[in-house]
Amino acid sequence: MARIDVNSPVPKYYQLKEILRDMIETKKLGAGQVIPPERELCERYGVSRMTARQAVIELVNEGLLYRVQGRGTFVAEAKLRQGTGRLTSFTQDMQERGMQVSSVVLGIEVEEAGPVVARMLRIDPGDRIIRVRRVRNADGKPMALETSHLLYEVAKGILEVDLSEHSLYEQLGRMGVRIASAEQSYEAVLVNDFESGHLGVPAGSPAMLIERITFDSEERPFEYVKSVYRADRYRITTRLES
């Protein structure tokens, strides 16, 4: 059994946290399983109540554990991972993880591009674009709030499509758009009031802002998207090689 090293400069709560994390990642503690109560953690690892509590609270805040009033603390489902390197739609991303996708369309409008969107899509400010705002759910719970800006000429066919039922990328594919590559950036943000209402987490919760510019096979950018993903449900893993 892993032990707390009392001579280590690493704080005890942190060591305990790492031990618990390890048990979760190696599935010694499986999703949905209750973790030992504080009292037992104290006895087992020779730490104070405060130390045990701090370790557990931090794991709850990181989304690895969740509490149920009066019943205890449980192991959460593993966060979803998006493997980078492959260009996928939200629908594909979730389906590959065996999750049910659904979307709530908050708005779909034809607008004039502002300066930022125009620069991203390499058009002139004032040119027509389509803006689609959707809450993307996985297994019936909000995962991300997504705002897509699309070139009007390329995507106008989607104005006829119900995007709460259909994948945007699949529809664009049907309309002859060849989705070839994308540039993506990631940024840590805090959920604001508007996002909080749609994501079902308190304002100020951590989130990941992902911005994507998507290109067709002629290297033309046709989509600029901003997606705010709940940090407690989403994780990104990349493979690096030397």
Name the site residues for ligand 16G (rule: CB under 6 A): 89-91, 146, 148, 167-170, 210, 212, 214, 223, 225, 227
Backbone angles phi, psi at 168, to 5 degrees: -60, -45
Q: Are 203 and 191 in contact (CB under 8 A)?
A: yes
Q: How far is the CB of 191 from ligand 16G (least distance, A)?
A: 16
Q: How far is the CB of 136 from ligand 16G (least distance, A)?
A: 7
Q: How far is the CB of 215 from ligand 16G (least distance, A)?
A: 12
CA distance 103 to 140: 9
In a 3-state reduction of DSSP, which class is residue 78? coil
CA distance 64 to 67: 10
* For ligand 16G, the closer CB: 54 or 148: 148
* For ligand 16G, the closer CB: 43 or 109: 109
CA distance 146 to 195: 10
Q: How far is the CB of 32 from ligand 16G (least distance, A)?
A: 28
* For ligand 16G, the closer CB: 88 or 196: 88
Q: How far is the CB of 151 from ligand 16G (least distance, A)?
A: 13
* For ligand 16G, the closer CB: 57 or 80: 80
Q: Are 223 and 123 in contact (CB under 8 A)?
A: no
* For ligand 16G, the closer CB: 11 or 83: 83
Q: How far is the CB of 186 from ligand 16G (least distance, A)?
A: 9
Q: How far is the CB of 91 from ligand 16G (least distance, A)?
A: 3
Strand partners, 224: 149, 213
Q: Are 49 and 10 in contact (CB under 8 A)?
A: no
From its phi and psi, is residue 114 left (phi > 0), alpha (psi between -120 and 50) or beta?
beta
CA distances from 202 to 76, 79, 164, 206 (A): 19, 19, 24, 9
* For ligand 16G, the closer CB: 35 or 225: 225
* For ligand 16G, the closer CB: 14 or 95: 95
- What is the C-alpha end-to-end distance of the chain, expressed in Å? 34
Q: DSSP letter at 115?
A: H
Strand partners, 75: 65
